[in-house]
Amino acid sequence: MYWRKFNGESIDLPIKVAVEEAIQRETNKAYKLKVCIGTDSQVKGQETEFATVIVFLREGHGGFMFLHNEITTFKYSIKERMLVEVAKSIEIAYELCDLFTYYNVEMEVHADINTNPQFKSNEALKEAMGYILGMGFAFKAKPEAFASSSCANKAVN
């Protein structure tokens, strides 16, 4: 799985190693960290592009993120696509959660799903919330889900 920094620089280490190094580096500088993981997608013709982000927030000192993009030609309904986004976020959150526990870093999973029933993405809200909370992760949806709705959104070309 290819990950990169927001500036485009490739992350050549396994993502778990890169995240642990980032946590160590930032905590050694006495920053209190919070990590938010989210995925967004965009349909372009026959393709659907997914962007997953790991956002590191330094309390009172900005943040940075790692990104991963994936393209598929599978045709999704809106509900399926929202749940695939959530599954991609959960997959990376699950891979990294022991690091966050070990280093005492708060972590949230953000879903690019609107809490307003007038929006089509809302169809997937109950399932997404159940999936994320059922895995034991903190859950945020729009408008609080900035990792997916703002950060990952910028990473979908």
- The pLDDT assigned to 121 comes to 86
Average pLDDT of the residues of the chain: 95
The model's pTM is 0.94
- The pLDDT assigned to 138 comes to 95
What percent of the chain stands above pLDDT 90? 87
Measure the CA–CA gap between 43 and 132, rounded to whole angstroms: 24
CB 4 within 8 A of CB 10: yes
- Tens of pLDDT along 40-91? 999 999 999 999 999 999 999 999 999 999 999 999 999 999 999 999 999 9
List CB contacts of 68: < 8 A, sequence separation 6 or more: 1, 2, 3, 4, 15, 51, 52, 53, 92
Q: Which residue from 2, 9, 27 is spatially nearest to 103, judged by alpha carbons?
A: 27
Domain boundaries, the chain: 3-155
- The pLDDT assigned to 1 comes to 80
Class of domain 3-155: alpha beta
- Tens of pLDDT along 109-131? 999 998 998 988 888 999 999 99
At 75, phi and psi to the nearest 5?
-95, 115
